[in-house]
Amino acid sequence: MVYSRVVRATHGERFSYVSPRWCTRIFIAGDLLCLNIQSTGAGFLPKPKLVNAGNGVIVTGLGLQVLIFAGFMWCCVLFHRKFSLHLRNTGQTVDVPWESVLWMLYGTSVLISIRNIFRLVEFIAGHDGYLNSNEWPVYVFDGVLMLLVMISFYIWYPPQLQLEEIGTESMIELTSEDNNVPQNEPSRK
């Protein structure tokens, strides 16, 4: 979604190999497909005769997830290169900090890719492997990496890419209950 918002905010749709409208849909659908494949494999694990098949299905889902995410990153890099070249050749400027957002997206994408590869190696190593036998790798390569992704988005996500700025009418704006109270009435707390 961040990639699509950057492309729309910069009016760079023609420089994206995948339409921003379809980009989010394609990659989220791919992620959901991978999660469904993995959950199907996890459903085989309780049956002793199907443990190996379940692990194989999970590894397939994780491998596909790594490939789909690499495709997403490749799409971002191609847009970055084409749009940068366009701006250099035309001398145009853009008010949105699109390049810093893409760099933040690259950094967080690398963290997510490390996590996905960790999960892939974890299941390839099996239930008796080192990664499944010890808790610290899960904390470091799953919990800490996802925490860093959340912190990165919290710190570096620019307000110019908020929903109201790019005109997505189909999105629902969340407000607190206090925002619905008229100014002349006291709030009920």
Encoding tokens for residue 15?
A: 């420089």
Domain membership flag for residue 187? no
CA dihedral sign, ordered 168, 169, 174, 177: positive
Helices (H), the chain: 2-9, 20-44, 51-90, 98-125, 130-133, 136-138, 145-156, 163-166
Q: What's the rounded Cα separation, in Å, for the pair 13 and 132?
A: 44
- Answer with the residue of higher pLDDT: 38 or 169: 38
Whether 177 is covered by a domain: the verdict is no
- Domain membership of residue 22 (yes or no) is yes
List the domain range (segments joined by +) for residue 20: 2-165
Give yes or no for residue 135 having a pLDDT over 60.
Answer: yes
170 in a structural domain: no
Does any domain span residue 121?
yes
In a domain, 66, yes or no: yes
* pLDDT tens-digit map of 140-172: 999 999 999 999 988 887 776 665 444 444 443
Does any domain span residue 181?
no
Residue 74: which of 14, 8, 18, 119 has the closest Cα?
18
Q: Is residue 136 one of the residues assigned to a domain?
A: yes
pTM for this one? 0.76
What amino acid occupies position 124? I
- Mean per-residue pLDDT of the chain: 84
Q: How far is 50 from 13, CA to CA, in rounded Å?
A: 47
Would you give the DSSP letter of residue 158? Answer: -
* pLDDT for res 156: 82
Q: Is the pLDDT of residue 14 over 60?
A: yes
Is residue 136 very low, low, confident or very high in pLDDT (cuts 50, 70, 90)?
very high
The C-alpha angle with vertex 99 and arms to 163 and 5, in degrees rounded to 5, equals 20
Q: State whether residue 19 is helix, strand or coil.
A: coil
Give the chain's domain count: 1
